[in-house]
Chain A
C-alpha cells in the first residue's frame, strides 16, 4: 500500500492521560495507540467517559499526555511548551465544536478572521481570505451577520469556515452535529466531506451518532480509556460491537 510509505500525520504510542492522584485517580486515556495518515477521515466513538473527548484534546494540543508519546508530523508534542503548542494549533489544526463557539456580537466575517489575525496577516488579506472560505461553506452574503442572527446550521458553517481559514492540515470536529437537527446535520456532514475532498484535509471527528460516523472511512471505538476497535468503517450496525455492550451494561 502507498500509505505505508507515508509517515503518519498523527501517531499515538501508548498515550495515557491521568487526572488526580491516589484514590481519586482517573485514567481518561489508558495506553492508547493509533496512527492517522494524511487525508484520512476518522470517527472516534464510544460511550461517554470512554476518553474520546480527552483523546481529541490531546490530538488538538490543548492537553498533553501524562505518559506515552504523541507525534504530530513526527514532532513529539509532549516536549513542546504551551506557546509552541499554540503555534502548532495556529498553523496545522482547525477546531469545530459541538456548541459552535463563535464569538458573540462579532460578525461571521470577523469570527472567520480570528485565526488569520494570529497568523499575522494584514487586514486586507484577512478579509479576502475570510470571504473566500465563507463562500466555500455557502454563506456568501451573510458575512456581516452576527451569530445570533444565524441558524444553528449556519453558525456551524461559520465555525467550519473559521477552522478552515488558517489552511490547517487537520480539522478536529467534536460532536459537530450534536446541536443540530437531522437534516442540518446531514448538510454539515456533506459539507465536511466535500471540503475534505477539495482541500485534502485530514478529519478527526468525535460523535455518538452512527449516521454521522458513517461519513468517515475509519472507526476508532473507545471504551474505558482504551481503543476497543480500530477498523475501516463497517457495513453493519456499529453498536453491535460486543465490547461496547459490556461497557454499557
Chain B
C-alpha cells in the first residue's frame, strides 16, 4: 500500500512537472548551498592543516605584540624586531636551523606598459631555504646584494606572467612604486594557499633594500624560524621566548611584548576562522531550506484545492481519511526529497567546481549528504502535514460537488 502511495505521488508530481520543479527549487537551492558550503569548508580546513603540515610542524613565526590576533595584537606599541634579532636567534638557540626576516608592503609593479598591484616582500635567501622554495630562473640574491641594500628583486610566477608574459624577465628593470629594481630571478610556482590567496603574487627583495628604499626604517615585521629536524618545537619556542625576553629586557612580572606562534596554533586559528565562516554561510543557506518548505506547503495547499473533486471520488470509492492524508503527505515528502536529491547533486557539483577553483581538496562527506537527505524528508513531513490534513478532512459530498 505504501508503495502504491509513493507511485501515485510520483505520478502526481510528474503530471505537473514544471510546477513541481519550481516548487522544489527552494529546497534544491537550500540543500545545494549547504552541501557546497560544508564540503568546500571541510576541504579548505583539510587543506589548511595539510599546508601547515607541509610547511613543517617545525616552523615558528615571531611577531611583535602580545597576541597573534584580536585585542593586543597591534604591534604599534610593541618594539619591532630588527635584523640583529634574526641573527641572534640563529646563534643563541641551538634548536633553530635557520631564521629569516619578513616584511611586506602592497605596491604597484610596473614594466613597460604593464602594471600590476602586488605584495613586495623583504626577506633573504634563508627564507627560500627554510620554505623549500627554489628560484627556477635566474639566481637567488648574492651575499653582497643582501648586505648592500641594492634594489634587486625575485619575482613570483604570477607577477612574472602579468608583467612579462612569455618573455624572460631576468636582467630587466621594473619599477616598484617609485623605486627602480633589477630582476635577478623567478621563484617556482607555488599555487594558491589554503585561503585561495595566490602565493605567487609576490615580489621578493633583500631585506635591507626593502627597509631602506621602501619601508624607510630598520624594522622586521616577522621572524620566520625553522627548527632542526628531531629538535622539539616546543623547546625551541621556550628558548626563543626566554632569549627575546632577555634581549628586550622584559621584567619577570611583565607580559611578553611579542608572540611566538607555532604551526599548530596557526592551523587551529586558520581552521577556526574557516569553521566560523562555513557555519555562518550554512546558516544563511538553511534559511533557504525553510523558505523552500513554505513553498512546498503553499503548492500542496493549491494542489489540495485543485484536486478536491479527486479527493471526493477517492472518499466515495472507500478511501479512509488516513489514506487521503498519507497520499498528500507522501506526495509532499517525495516532492521535497526530490528537491533534496537534486540539491545534493547540484551542491556536490558546485563544491567540486569551487574546490577546484580554490585549489582545496574535494572531500564529500557522506554524513552531510545523509543529513541533507534526512532534512529534506523532515521539511516534507512538517510542511506537508497541514495541507494533507486539510485534504483528509474534506466532506465527500462537498468535495464531489466542487468544480
The interface size bin for chain B is: 20 to 34
The residue from B15, B309, B319, B323 contacting A101, defined by CB atoms under 8 A apart: B309
Q: Are the C-beta atoms of B397 and A114 separated by less than 8 Å?
A: no
Name the B residues within 8 Å of A83 (CB-CB).
Answer: 320-322
Highest count of chain A CB atoms <10 Å: which of B318, B319, B400: B318
Name the A residues within 8 Å of B400 (CB-CB).
Answer: 62, 97, 101
Task: Answer whether residue A115 sits at the interface, using C-beta atoms and an 8 A cutoff.
Answer: yes
Give the nearest-CB partner of A159 in chain B. B313
Give the nearest-CB partner of B324 in chain A. A86
Name the A residues within 8 Å of B397 (CB-CB).
Answer: 57, 62-63
Task: Answer whether residue B4 sits at the interface, using C-beta atoms and an 8 A cutoff.
Answer: yes
- How many inter-chain contacts with C-beta < 8 Å in the A-B complex? 57
Task: Answer whether residue B1 sits at the interface, using C-beta atoms and an 8 A cutoff.
Answer: yes
Highest count of chain B CB atoms <10 Å: which of A83, A86, A90, A95: A86
Q: Are the C-beta atoms of A91 and B15 separated by less than 8 Å?
A: no
Interface flags for B317-344 (1: CB within 8 Å of A; 0: not) read 1111111000000000000000000000
Task: Answer whether residue B354 sits at the interface, using C-beta atoms and an 8 A cutoff.
Answer: no
Give the nearest-CB partner of B399 in chain A. A62
A62-B397, A103-B310, A105-B15 known; A162+B317 contact, CB < 8 A: yes
Q: Nearest Cβ distance between residue A17 and chain B, in whole angstroms?
A: 11
Name the A residues within 8 Å of B317 (CB-CB).
Answer: 89-90, 95, 114-115, 118, 162, 166
Q: Are the C-beta atoms of B316 and A60 separated by less than 8 Å?
A: yes
Number of residues from A at the complex interface, CB < 8 A:
26
A62-B397, A117-B4, A118-B323 known; A86+B318 contact, CB < 8 A: yes
Q: Are the C-beta atoms of B15 and A89 separated by less than 8 Å?
A: no
Task: Answer whether residue B67 sits at the interface, using C-beta atoms and an 8 A cutoff.
Answer: no
Name the B residues within 8 Å of A91 (CB-CB).
Answer: 318
Q: How far is the CA of A120 from the CA of B400 in the complex (A)?
A: 23
A62-B397, A105-B15, A120-B1 known; A114+B322 contact, CB < 8 A: no
Task: Answer whether residue B396 sits at the interface, using C-beta atoms and an 8 A cutoff.
Answer: yes
Q: Are the C-beta atoms of A114 and B321 separated by less than 8 Å?
A: no
Give the nearest-CB partner of B392 in chain A. A82
Q: How far is the CA of A102 from the CA of B314 in the complex (A)?
A: 10
A101-B309, A118-B323 known; A87+B318 contact, CB < 8 A: yes
Task: Answer whether residue A119 sits at the interface, using C-beta atoms and an 8 A cutoff.
Answer: yes
**Which chain B residues numbered 273 to 318 have a C-beta less than 8 Å away from chain A?**
309-310, 312-318
A57-B397, A101-B400 known; A89+B318 contact, CB < 8 A: yes
Beyond A62-B396, A166-B318, 19 additional pairs, beta carbon < 8 A: A57-B397, A62-B400, A86-B315, A86-B320, A86-B321, A87-B318, A89-B316, A89-B317, A89-B318, A90-B318, A90-B319, A95-B317, A97-B400, A103-B310, A105-B15, A115-B317, A118-B314, A118-B317, A120-B1
Cβ-closest 8 pairs across A and B: A90-B318, A115-B317, A86-B320, A83-B320, A89-B318, A118-B318, A62-B396, A95-B316
Contact sample, A vs B, 10 pairs, CB 8 Å cutoff: A60-B316, A62-B396, A62-B400, A86-B315, A89-B317, A95-B316, A97-B400, A105-B15, A118-B314, A166-B317
